[in-house]
Structure 1
């Protein structure tokens, strides 16, 4: 895995390129600059970090400020809230537990949380929870909910459909999935991610619980002109709680693109998150990652990451034989908190991956368009 040095608005590459394998560093920088600088101006983004991998080489670009109050610039150690991109780590941890025989995706949540036995939620499986197909759990917990372990909420939940028939993007769904994983591992969720996943991917500056020594690197997000960090709600560590750098998140992307270099157990865990289970329009929902046949039209990505897909239920069709993608595939995931916006996209067959992190929650379509523009220009020059 590439070792990245600290720099600002610069590109760092490793491993020699074949003669025509990828654009040179100046060309990559020009591509990213041409996309990101107008994006920042249009959406008043205080700071942005972009990480790109092309044919096994990595490039990190930093723009703007981590803190407007003291003019602190974004650099390679700047920590961003990555919002729901955190869900891909919850999925990887669950897949790891499955590989180890600690859980099965066909298990019911009541197996690990007896308080849920006999309730409607216990008719769903862990797979349904991990793919948002339990039957209509909402996007967010109610604002008035204060229980850190909301068993009463789940027991009282009334489904809108049978498990596996509708896909409704949901923090309560994925949060319960991650919580069941931690119970199956008999571990605290945060410590499991920090001690199992981060070391496996070489992520040395990533946290569920940010220690005091790393707090100076933690960027401020901006909401309505105010500097903010997210506040906790039930299962927030699972659904949107990871703080990481662009460089570390790119390492995770690289591992997903070429899992062959991982420990055999972790390789199987990563590959497990690439299995598709449900078809929802043009998108295939796996554990954490959302998949599209590649080449992928921009409008297809915009539709798959639309407000409708985030807030509304959609019919889901279970794939008869869940499997790894049969052809070239684009994987992506968005993430937002009150003050941050993230987007990750990668195409293993093209050997290209892109991480966009910003300390403002700007519109998702703008993120998708920016990453798509970078992808198109990088692949066109290969």
Structure 2
């Protein structure tokens, strides 16, 4: 099918998608497509690992789509000229909304709630369960938190890689999620762990390469013909060595210390409150009154008051500073103060 142009020529309509793709490709920074592909694979690996961990059996199948949706959303915002705070705010607000939509049917099914109840009624009922502590054992609440975490994992990694060029910062939530899955549910996690390690090294290597090329372009540095190949040759060898170490070295721990750390913190805080709110015996004082650690409206004395026979007056000797040209000695003046009343 052909169409006439105003100048009398003609072109095929099938060339329009190709032209649009070329313009879109030209507007995207160099290396962003490959970076996006690695990010999507990493996010998918972390989400599939969480599904395999089965924190909420039978309810986590939507996590890969949620994580990819977060990565795509923040990836698009990262390539736009919008202010960073506006894009990050939009991503933060979208996370709880998506998690709430996915967890709402489970919450409605597990609790006796009118099927015609509005979203406001569901939120109020959920806040009531959170306030009395019963929500933490509810599978809908766990599903909400894990879904929100997957959204944050994909969105934060995509934003840090494509906008800030900081992949190490972007990997923090995903690494924590994968480590928690491996420590608590080690079964069926070997493939996801290996994929995560390989993709992480590939992302770091590619980010370093694109960053080096961008710096060379900014300073008008012309690269030699073998410079790119030397970089990849050295980088691949280093990546293979790190991958071998990651596989062969034993893990630092085979237990999840999260609950232990939380229990220790709560116990220490409870002991501190106990010491602040309850009296204890004085350590080094000679008085008979009990002491307290903290704040008190009244303070007990160490013993009864006694009358002293020492005189209340005193004599103060005050020296007068004279100029250097005077050679006679300093004079002293005695001030007599009246006796203070006893």
Structure 1-normalised TM-score? 0.22
Higher helix share: 2
> Bigger relative contact order, structure 1 or 2, given CA contacts below 8 A and separation 6+?
1
> Whose Rg is larger?
2
The TM-score, its normalising length taken from structure 2, stands at 0.24
Query: Which protein has the bigger strand share?
Result: 1
